[in-house]
Amino acid sequence: HSEISPKMKKKLFDTCSECGGWLRKSDMITLLARSRRGEQPKKIGFMCKACFKKFCEGQGLEIPELAGLAEDIKEEEERHNGEEKKM
C-alpha cells in the first residue's frame, strides 16, 4: 500500500503556479489574497520555493524569512537545474 490514492494525491499535492511542477503542498509556498483588511485571505494557489525566490527577485522584493526556506531553495534550484539539463 505504498501508492497514494488519487483522492489523497489531490488533497496533498498541487501544481506550482509558475513552473507547473507537481509537488507536495507542504513543500510549497501558499499564495493568499484578500481585498481589504479584516477579511479572511483566500487561497489562490501554490508556488515552489525556487519559483518564489525568482518571483521575489524579479519584483525587487526582499525574500521573507520563512521556516526552512533558504535551505529548501538551494535544494530546489539544484533539482530545477538538473531537470533543465535533461530537456
pLDDT tens-digit series, residues 50-86:
999 999 999 999 888 886 676 776 676 676 666 655 5
Please report the pLDDT score of residue 87 as a whole number: 44
Please report the pLDDT score of residue 80 as a whole number: 65
Tell me the per-residue pLDDT of 25-55, one tens digit each, with 9 for 90 and over.
Answer: 999 999 999 999 999 999 999 999 999 999 9
Q: Does the reported pTM lie above 0.85?
A: no
Helix extents (H) in the chain: 6-12, 49-59, 69-86
φ and ψ at 48, to 5 degrees?
Answer: -65, 160
Higher pLDDT: 21 or 75? It is 21
Please report the pLDDT score of residue 1 as a whole number: 57
